[in-house]
Amino acid sequence: MSETATQRRPSRVREALASTNFRALLGGTTVGAFGNAITPVALAFAVLHLGGTASQLGLVVAAFAAAEVVTLLFGGVLGDRVPRQLMMQGSSFATAATQGLMALSLVAGFATIPMIGFIGVVNGCLGALSGPSSQAMTRQTVPEEHLPSAVALRRLSQQTAQVLGFAGAGVLVAAFGPGWAIAVDAATFVVAGTCFTFIRIPRVTPEAKARPSLLAELREGAAEVFRHTWLWLLIGQALLYHLFYGGVQGVLGPIVVEDAWSEAAWGWALSALMAGFILGGLVSLRWRPRRGLLIGTWLLALTAAFPLAMALSDNLAVLLLGAALHGFGLEVFSVNWDLSIQQNIADEKLARVYAFDMVGSFVARPVGLALTGPISAVLGVTEWLVVVALIMGASSLLATFAPSVRALERR
């Protein structure tokens, strides 16, 4: 690498941060990621403190996830119809209100599990309405030449905020109770919404013609996805990842690691996973391969290392290394994936494409969570972990043989 190139790359990071719009977006999404990491921990303890069972907690979480998936496509259409910053502001302030209500009910003592479940459904819908708009906003806040830095910076800041949020959530719940922890989350949404008010993106005046129906715009979004082979192929890859790995992290991982080492070891493994994410983000700030999607998809095969380490090793260091490799490979892929979408999809369809991407990622996870236990009981836990690792690694490597994945170049 030449000295000129080395000097130029950090300057692009500074140039991306020089944009007031991008700083506002980065600040809002970072604070929001911190708050979103607090909620799952606080919510779980809130349900348990109310006398709820594991099954009731599962229903509350499932209701949130289902509401999110159902609403995402509608959020994608709205993100291509109305100003995206308005979608993000409205969602943030509305979620601050609903989370504030949940916090008040817990602190004041009138909360019930059905109430928490209902508020969770509302929050899932609000998050899904703004999610595609938030993803599509990055390209509108920086010049084209600084987009790679903006994408990498945004992902890195959100991953770091999540690490801090997960760490802080337990402390908040232990010290003050779940109600006050959720109140902190509500405050983060106020801060995020305020940040989004500083985004000043010129409104594009639409052509004077009748807008198509909601279903017609969804069909346009689906047609755009299927127009790019690399796009629908890797959305399918994401579906496989969440279908198989979701059950490993959510069900088998804690059991296997606790039996082999301790409960604390599972926390260390998740910390190593997040460290891998952060390392991948830092590397992506400087490393910009011309065929980024191809390189990222190759590295996505590293996600097999975590379940494989759970299955085959009795060495804790190997487990932590597998978790870190998983996070590193997934993050490098995610940065290049996000950049590929940003650079190759027309702006007027970008939110809908992100909505289909999110649905493809999320819709299979509940199925994987539900089936992992029964399947591993029949095949054996170790055997199923090996199968999952082989599917994750092999499907990623097979995707690299697709001509559209190999040919796509970053601009």
Average pLDDT value for residue range 6-23? 70
Say whether pLDDT at 54 is over 80.
Answer: no
pLDDT in tens, 172-223: 887 888 899 899 999 999 999 999 999 988 765 445 455 677 778 888 888 9
Locate the domains of the chain by residue range: 1-211, 212-411
Q: Which two tokens stand for residue 303?
A: 């996600």
Instruction: Give CATH superfamily name and number for 1-211.
Output: MFS general substrate transporter like domains (1.20.1250.20)
Rounded to the nearest integer, the mean pLDDT of the chain is 86
More confident residue, 214 or 307: 307
Fold for domain 212-411? Growth Hormone; Chain: A; (1.20.1250)
Q: Assess whether pLDDT exceeds 80 at residue 240.
A: yes
Spatial distance between the Cα atoms of 380 and 243, rounded to a whole number of angstroms: 18
The predicted structure's pLDDT at residue 3: 41
pLDDT, residue 211, reads 66
Residue type, position 392, single letter: M
Asked whether residue 4 carries a pLDDT value surpassing 50, the answer given is no
Query: Amino acid identity of 398?
Result: L
- What is the pLDDT averaged over residues 101-117? 90
Residue-level pLDDT at 83: 87
More confident residue, 40 or 272: 272
Q: What pLDDT shows up at residue 5?
A: 42
Give 326-367 pLDDT, tens digit per residue.
999 999 999 999 999 999 998 888 989 998 998 887 788 777
pLDDT digits (tens, 9 = 90+) for 18-41: 888 999 999 999 999 898 888 877
Query: Does the fold of domain 212-411 match that of domain 1-211?
Result: yes
